[in-house]
Structure 1
């Protein structure tokens, strides 16, 4: 039994080249999914900024501000 365990440990179930190929494919899939998500985020940010510009142009307010979604800051100027 001990010899059987040692042989099982020494000889992998999956060959090394197949294991490397599977690893490379996983990395490529993760990169693809990340690029898709970044594209979705850019698309949503464009829609949000276009909506903000549209809302700003509809209003007669000259001090229209646009909030930055990530930072929480606005583009307004403070009068001193």
Structure 2
């Protein structure tokens, strides 16, 4: 049972990291004076989400892995968006 709990906790951490990244990306507005600070924060959230999602793969169920792959696709899109700005 502890393994299942750890698996669920790892997946929930990945979900939370992804949501935090989405929030950081939503706060990016190039016309605002504090854009640079928000951009740096979004990059930090992206890096953290990548690490947490990779860690969650180690114990994820097949269903969870499918969701993690979707997160990774979005991470790639966010990464490209940050590079383009």
Report the TM-score when normalising by structure 1. 0.42
Higher helix residue share: 2
Which structure is richer in relative contact order (CA contacts within 8 A, separation 6 or more)? 2
TM-score between both structures, scaled by the size of structure 2? 0.40
